[in-house]
Amino acid sequence: MPVETEIPTHLNMRIEPKLRYLADLAARATGTSLTEYIEEALWQSFAKVSLDQFPELNEEPNSLLKLSAVERQAHFRKRGELITNPLSTVGERLWSEHPFARIQLLIVGGFEHLMSDDERTIWDHAFAHYAKSGKLSTKLVVEHWNEIKTAALSKSRKARKAATE
């Protein structure tokens, strides 16, 4: 039985008309489909994304949402100049078919700062319930993955709902 990766293969997004038109032209010029062109552009962009944290840029991810589009671009351009651990190099080591293994790989790789709130909740729940003497049983976590995920995310949703009330 194949492992469910929990990452959908379809992405629906809004894109500004000018960017869409130029991407269409670029795809036609390269003899590829729009999807193939965008996928290749994403792969190439990974070389410009550093997974390291830098003290001067160590902000909460949501704080970037408060910036204008121009300010965000300037921020990422500045961060791109400091690339020491590009996603293009590290990405293969962070991928696994199993979602829990991906969480573990972020932690083992020293990229805890990139964990989503849901991933952190799942990790904390798994560690609290399936660790003995400070060691997590990956085998047990994988065997009980669906119930761990359900329990952790349910607890997380309840906490978020209580915080908004």
Q: For residue range 90-104, what is the model confidence (pLDDT) as tens digits?
A: 898 999 999 999 999
In a domain, 153, yes or no: yes
Tell me which of 50-54, 58-62, 65-69, 124-128 is least confident: 58-62
In a domain, 23, yes or no: no
The amino acid at 24: D
In a domain, 14, yes or no: no
Asked whether 137 and 104 are in contact (CB, 8 A), the reply is no
Query: Is the pLDDT at 1 greater than 50, yes or no?
Result: no
In a domain, 164, yes or no: yes
pLDDT of residue 58: 46
Structural domain boundaries, residue 137: 95-165
DSSP annotation string for 90-122: HHHHH--SSHHHHHHHHHHTT-GGG--HHHHHH
In a domain, 19, yes or no: no
Prediction pTM value: 0.69
pLDDT of residue 110: 85
In a domain, 3, yes or no: no
Q: How far is the C-alpha of 165 from the C-alpha of 158, rounded, in Å? A: 11
Query: Is the pLDDT at 38 greater than 50, yes or no?
Result: yes
In a domain, 88, yes or no: no
In a domain, 127, yes or no: yes
What is the tally of structural domains in the chain? 1
